[in-house]
């Protein structure tokens, strides 16, 4: 008896409920719905990771697209020894850092440590609620988000990467250190310096929340999905 074909929309809805572990075998077989689900699921983290290194929205998108293309064309090499999110983030970091190295040398960490050795490294406290109450409040939060983004952009490369992975993405210090290939103690030091510089940059208190930084959703998220699919199709020709 012939199998009854599943409509594309229904298939996408079904794959959206699958875990990464279940999606990987489907993606290895070229299942477009599985690939789209993976891309949509990990877009936010990968964009933030690339943005933390590159400091430019459009170039960060190019980095994410390149990372996805590299990941999906080499998906057979993924053995599941680490989580898919970990594997994708490392590929994105390598792509972003490679572009930075090709463009310029990063600031020496020892020099930065000396410049920021002044006391006052308290952790910034930010409101976590994003519930909108009125247009004026929403505008205030939007302005605060842009101020935070600018402050993050001003951080030196090494500190910015740790800060975004740790305080924006909510990773543990050990996870962030593992992604960046540094010791946890080094990650802690850089995070401390980053928080200090952020505090000096934005003063005392702001409205908004880290969860709203560098949004990558809606049309931009959908566009990335289409771009990755198109790039993968081009590679198979």
Cα distance between residue 156 and residue 161, in whole Å:
9
Give the number of C-alpha atoms closer than 13 A to the C-alpha of residue 94, restricted to the C-beta side. Answer: 13
pLDDT (0 to 100) of residue 192: 92
**CATH number for the segment(s) 20-104+217-235:** 1.10.1740.10
Q: CA-based diameter of the chain, in Å?
A: 75
Burial class (CB in 10 A: 0-12, 13-18, 19+), 125: exposed
How far CA 65 is from CA of 32, 43, 90, in Å, comes to 16, 10, 14
pLDDT (0 to 100) of residue 99: 87
Read off the pLDDT of residues 191-212 as tens digits, 9 standing for 90 and up.
999 988 888 776 544 544 555 6
Supply the DSSP string of 178-214, one letter for each residue. Answer: HHHTS-HHHHHHHHHHHHHHHHHHH-S---S-GGGSS
Given CA atoms 119, 127, 55, 53 in this order, what sign does their dihedral have?
positive
pTM, two decimals, is 0.61
Cα distance between residue 160 and residue 180, in whole Å:
12
192: nearest Cα among 125, 126, 128, 116: 116
Percent of the chain having pLDDT more than 90?
30
Cα distance between residue 45 and residue 237, in whole Å:
30
- Which residues belong to CATH 1.10.1740.10 in the chain? 20-104+217-235
Supply the DSSP string of 41-71, one letter for each residue. Answer: HHHHHHHHHHHHHH--HHHHHHHHHHHHHHH
- Which residues belong to CATH 1.10.10.10 in the chain? 109-212
Q: Which residues contact 173 (CB under 8 A, 6 or more apart)?
A: 166, 184, 187, 188, 191
pLDDT (0 to 100) of residue 219: 81
Q: What class does CATH assign to 109-212?
A: mainly alpha
Average per-residue pLDDT for the chain: 77
| Main-chain dihedrals φ then ψ at residue 30, nearest 5 degrees | 85, 20
Read off the pLDDT of residues 24-82 as tens digits, 9 standing for 90 and up.
999 999 999 999 999 999 999 999 989 888 888 899 999 999 999 999 999 998 988 88
pLDDT (0 to 100) of residue 9: 55
């Amino acid at each position: 008896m012939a199998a009854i074909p599943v409509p594309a929309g229904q298939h996408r809805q079904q794959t959206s409920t699958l875990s990464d572990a279940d999606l990987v075998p489907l993606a290895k077989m070229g299942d477009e719905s599985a690939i789209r689900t993976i891309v949509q699921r990990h877009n936010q983290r990968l964009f933030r990771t690339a943005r933390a290194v590159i400091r430019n929205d459009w170039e960060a998108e190019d980095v994410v697209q390149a990372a996805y293309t590299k990941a999906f064309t080499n998906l057979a090499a993924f053995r599941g020894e680490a989580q898919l999110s970990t594997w994708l983030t490392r590929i994105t970091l390598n792509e972003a850092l490679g572009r930075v190295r090709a463009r310029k040398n990063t600031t020496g960490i020892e020099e930065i440590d000396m410049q920021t050795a002044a006391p006052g490294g308290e952790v910034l406290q930010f409101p976590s609620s994003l519930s909108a109450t009125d247009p004026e409040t929403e505008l205030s939060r939007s302005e605060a988000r842009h101020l935070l983004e600018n402050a993050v952009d001003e951080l030196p490369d090494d500190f910015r990467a740790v800060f975004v992975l740790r305080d924006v993405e909510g990773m543990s210090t050990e996870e962030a250190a593992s992604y960046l290939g540094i010791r946890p103690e080094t990650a802690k030091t850089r995070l401390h310096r980053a928080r200090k510089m952020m505090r000096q940059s934005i003063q005392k208190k702001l409205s908004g929340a880290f969860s709203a930084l560098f949004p990558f959703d809606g049309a931009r998220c959908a566009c990335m999905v289409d771009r990755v699919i198109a790039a993968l199709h081009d590679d198979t020709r």
